[in-house]
Structure 1
Amino acid sequence: MKSSVVRSSAIHRFVAAAATAASLLSMGLAHAAVPLPSLNIDKTQITVSGLSSGGFMANQLGYAHSSTFKGVGVFAAGPYNCAGHSNYTACMYNATISSSALNTMQADLNNWSGTAIDAKSNVASQKVFLFVGLSDTTVGPNPMNAVQTQYLNNGVTAANLEYVQRSGTAHVLPTDFDATGNNSCGSSASPYIANCGYDGAKAVLTKLYGSLSARNNSPAAANYIEFDQTAFSTNPGLAATGWAYVPANCAAGQVCKLHVALHGCQQNYATIGDKFVRNTGFSRWADTNNIVVLFPQTKVDSTSRSTAASGLLPNPNGCWDWVGWYGSNFAQKAGTQIAALKAMVDKVSGGTTGNPGDPGNPGDPGTPATCFTASNYTHSVSGRAYALYGITYANGSNQSMGLWNIFVTTTLKQTAPNYYVIGTCP
């Protein structure tokens, strides 16, 4: 009698969960944000790149945390802390940045080295990729020339620095494939992603990591994760959620690389949807090259704020902070957005190192993993998964397993303590 009551109660919960999920699906809300997972990341293979304000932020991260980021890609941006001393307009619109201005920025790097930022000597060993379109009037070649000069002045060798200037290309993240909603290569317009016959994602990842395996043009939808950013910051310029692409083998515990891809102004998820996440090509190359990609997200901030050298300004385009909206230390480790991004990197790279064969000792390749095949409900009550808004997620990897009920059956593989992935055991 007791077992019948329990089963009846469970079935009612399943029906309620299914109804909730169906309702959420009809409203477009079924995909809920999950905690950012901790993965098995090779900490010598952490890199960053970005376009426009994302390029400025990538540059800032690379200098501020030079001991963490081993490579930096800058698409159409300007030199470190340029807007810390000049109105932001003097750092873009193809403005010429003088040697005197670069000397002032260099004084910051010299004075902050080892305190407000990591030791600047680390920069000399970074691999650097630079790109600008010669038809780009939003930022343009002149500020990018200053970025190159600044890296060379800080010891980056010619062999470690690649600088591409491409004709017929405007202010865009260039690709070599068409994608729905993208703009033309010669147009600096939303979503600032265009088929230019040049694979920007491949170019930057190749420079930072070496030769790549052929890309997968259809990366699995299940490998895209929307994660909770509020765990890392409540900064008014950061969205509540960000995105990550986690290849299945990385989710299963294999040692992987980590790349942070930063969108530009008017490129956040709230403005252009998933175009930067899916249409730029990063996930295509990540899928076949053991690379986890973080796509952190900004949001529009219409409040006018005092900036470092540009007066009182709002942030209506959802730009990354390269002008000091959120404090004069915006380019330092203590800068609000830099600190949040570093915390995300630390979280996702905080997993175990070694072979995922043994859930008790991921470094032991000799013990097979343990698999559990059960309903999604059973997985959740057994502590292998959890339910959120009627959807089930695997503990640890946060992979979506589908509806939370007794009718959907999933095989989970345990690859580490309290870490499960969708898969099978040999």
Structure 2
Amino acid sequence: MRPAPCHAALLAALLTPLLAPLLAALAGPAAGDDGAGLRRGADPAAVSISGLSSGAAMAVQYSVAHSASVTGVGSIAGPLWGCAEGSVSRAVNACMCGRGPLAETLGTARRLAADGAIDGLVSGVPQRLRRAYLFQSPADETVASTSGEANAAFLAGFIGSAPEVDRGNARDGSDGAGHGIIAPGPGTDACAFDGQETRYVRSCGAADNAGAMFRALFGDTAPGGAQRVDSVPEGEIWRFDQRRLIERVTADAPSIADDGLNWFWLPTTSRRRRNLDMAEAGYLYVPPTCRAAGSACRVHVALHGCKQDARTFARLAGYNNWAEAYRTIVVYPAIAPGEPVAGGVCRAPPVSGAVDAAWFEPNPNGCWDWWGYLDTTSRKGRYLTRAAPQMRVLDAIIAEVTASR
């Protein structure tokens, strides 16, 4: 959690604007290779969202805040909604590592709905959010199973019906999986934690989180009995310009917390933080059946986790393999990479509560804002509401994907 040395920060600030165009060019094909960009005419009444780890936390935050428009949510190895209470020490110690009791958060969600900070409830339940899927391996060493189970209980109370909870099984070893999303295929990490993780997409036999989740969110049988596609060409994962959507939000000058210290040990805001810690490009997969104008497919937003490359997640996590079967456009928004802290967070000593009083709010591991790192002192708790800056960018992405072509 310590800031990077000043000379490294200065060098990064000088080089990033120069290297950004080159890195964008190397990252993959240009936005919307078929010329339609993000505008896909997807069905606005069939929007769902999911994620891994911090992406799972953000997915649940978004679905709770927008429960009048989101139909389903998936959480892969994610913590309890609202668990962090705006505190990074609590986020790590309690929500991730299971050190200490977890507070009841359903009352907080209902209060926010009553206050109008998130979508309102009808007779105590959401207007549209009805389905949820959670995967939580009991052997996950990054997000404790107690937090995942508490999240399942929270969603059951919020939605009004129990989510489908997948704890893995002994046949393929997925019950002993390390932290990550499980998908069959080459290029993935080992099923169990071995300290060599780089992708956080794990192979545990034929276990398939994305397939199980789509069945839970969309129905037991894919339309026409279609099946998983074994291989999706990497060139069909298209880049889109996320920067202009970020700029729509930052044009309103939302208050955001500083993320570092300058030469005089005073708080400062990096270029990355001014972009809400989000990357300049996100990714998109449009299955062939959804490429014609008027196809009116579903849209699913898939959020990567901390320390994870967004394009690698889009390529390996398994969503694209099921997109054709379920007539679903998959969008992969992205957080900008940070300077990751080495080692397993829950194998390290507890995080001191003193960090909560720091003058700046770093995000070294490239996580989505699930503990409030963008919130200033005067805006604590905003990260759970529709006003959260990253949620507003997701709003803009979904609005564009569902806009008519």
TM-score of the two chains, using structure 1 as the length reference? 0.68
* 1:268 equivalenced with 2:309 (yes/no): yes
Q: Could you tell me which amino acid in structure 2 is paired with residue 300 of structure 1?
A: P
Residue equivalent to 1:4 = none
* 1:324 equivalenced with 2:372 (yes/no): yes
Which of 131, 145, 151 is matched with 1:127 structurally?
131
TM-superposed CA distance for 1:38, in Å, is 1.5
CA distance in 1, matches of 2:76, 2:403: 28
Residue equivalent to 2:386 = 333
CA distance in 2, matches of 1:262, 1:278: 13
Q: Could you tell me which amino acid in structure 2 is paired with residue 58 of structure 1?
A: A
Q: Could you tell me which amino acid in structure 2 is paired with residue 293 of structure 1?
A: V
> Which residues of 2 match residues 261-300 of structure 1 at below 5 A?
261-269=302-310, 274-300=311-337
Gaps of 5+ in 1: 1-23, 352-418, 420-426
TM-superposed CA distance for 1:95, in Å, is 4.0
Q: Is 311-320 or 252-261 further displaced after alignment?
A: 311-320
Residue equivalent to 2:268 = none
TM-superposed CA distance for 1:44, in Å, is 2.4
Q: In the alignment, is the contact (CA less than 8 A) between 1:191 and 1:267 conserved in 2?
A: yes
Residue equivalent to 2:150 = 146
Gaps of 5+ in 2: 1-21, 169-174, 248-274, 341-352
> Which residues of 2 match residues 386-405 of structure 1 at below 5 A?
none
Q: Could you tell me which amino acid in structure 2 is paired with residue 257 of structure 1?
A: R
Q: Could you tell me which amino acid in structure 1 is paired with residue 139 of structure 2?
A: S
CA distance in 2, matches of 1:148, 1:288: 27
1:107-153 Cα deviation digits (max 9, x unpaired):
32122205110014217852010111111010021001110111222
* 1:179 equivalenced with 2:232 (yes/no): no
CA distance in 2, matches of 1:265, 1:125: 26
Q: Could you tell me which amino acid in structure 1 is paired with residue 136 of structure 2?
A: V
Which of 17, 30, 33 is matched with 1:32 structurally?
30
Q: Could you tell me which amino acid in structure 2 is paired with residue 31 of structure 1?
A: P
Q: In the alignment, is the contact (CA less than 8 A) between 1:302 and 1:314 conserved in 2?
A: no
The 1:79/1:174 distance shift into structure 2, 3 A limit, reads same
The 1:178/1:30 distance shift into structure 2, 3 A limit, reads closer
* 1:252 equivalenced with 2:292 (yes/no): yes
Residue equivalent to 2:401 = 348
1:168-189 Cα deviation digits (max 9, x unpaired):
11101011x2322x21110162
Q: Could you tell me which amino acid in structure 2 is paired with residue 193 of structure 1?
A: V
CA distance in 2, matches of 1:333, 1:30: 32
Q: Could you tell me which amino acid in structure 1 is paired with residue 307 of structure 2?
A: Q
Which of 211, 214, 225 is matched with 1:202 structurally?
211
The 1:275/1:28 distance shift into structure 2, 3 A limit, reads closer
Structure possessing the higher relative contact order (Cα contacts under 8 Å, 6 or more residues apart): 2
Residue equivalent to 1:390 = none
The 1:216/1:113 distance shift into structure 2, 3 A limit, reads same
The 1:201/1:30 distance shift into structure 2, 3 A limit, reads closer
Q: Is 88-97 or 230-239 further displaced after alignment?
A: 88-97
The 1:287/1:155 distance shift into structure 2, 3 A limit, reads closer
CA distance in 2, matches of 1:52, 1:61: 14
TM-superposed CA distance for 1:219, in Å, is 2.1
Q: Could you tell me which amino acid in structure 2 is paired with residue 214 of structure 1?
A: Q
* 1:164 equivalenced with 2:166 (yes/no): yes
Q: In the alignment, is the contact (CA less than 8 A) between 1:94 and 1:142 conserved in 2?
A: yes
Residue equivalent to 1:371 = none
- Tell me the secondary structure at the aligned position of residue 314 of structure 1: coil
CA distance in 1, matches of 2:314, 2:28: 19
- Tell me the secondary structure at the aligned position of residue 330 of structure 1: helix
- Tell me the secondary structure at the aligned position of residue 56 of structure 2: helix
Q: In the alignment, is the contact (CA less than 8 A) between 1:133 and 1:165 conserved in 2?
A: yes
Q: Could you tell me which amino acid in structure 2 is paired with residue 126 of structure 1?
A: R
CA distance in 2, matches of 1:184, 1:145: 24
1:266-292 Cα deviation digits (max 9, x unpaired):
1133xxxx3211111100110332110
CA distance in 2, matches of 1:50, 1:39: 22
Q: Is 330-339 or 310-319 further displaced after alignment?
A: 310-319
* 1:315 equivalenced with 2:321 (yes/no): no
Residue equivalent to 2:91 = 88
Q: In the alignment, is the contact (CA less than 8 A) between 1:225 and 1:243 conserved in 2?
A: yes
TM-superposed CA distance for 1:222, in Å, is 4.7
- Tell me the secondary structure at the aligned position of residue 202 of structure 2: strand
Question: Which of 1 and 2 has greater Rg?
Answer: 1
The 1:31/1:95 distance shift into structure 2, 3 A limit, reads same
CA distance in 1, matches of 2:28, 2:201: 28
The alignment of Structure 1 onto Structure 2 pairs a total of residues equal to 313
> Would you tell me which structure has more strand in proportion to its own residues?
1
Q: In the alignment, is the contact (CA less than 8 A) between 2:30 and 2:238 conserved in 1?
A: no
Residue equivalent to 1:48 = 49
* 1:192 equivalenced with 2:200 (yes/no): yes
Residue equivalent to 1:374 = none
The 1:123/1:147 distance shift into structure 2, 3 A limit, reads farther
TM-superposed CA distance for 1:76, in Å, is 1.1
TM-superposed CA distance for 1:221, in Å, is 4.1
Q: In the alignment, is the contact (CA less than 8 A) between 1:96 and 1:142 conserved in 2?
A: no
Q: In the alignment, is the contact (CA less than 8 A) between 2:237 and 2:315 conserved in 1?
A: no
TM-superposed CA distance for 1:155, in Å, is 4.1
1:399-422 Cα deviation digits (max 9, x unpaired):
xxxxxxxxxxxxxxxxxxxx5xxx
Q: In the alignment, is the contact (CA less than 8 A) between 1:36 and 1:347 conserved in 2?
A: no
CA distance in 1, matches of 2:237, 2:39: 15
The 1:28/1:153 distance shift into structure 2, 3 A limit, reads closer
Residue equivalent to 1:227 = 240
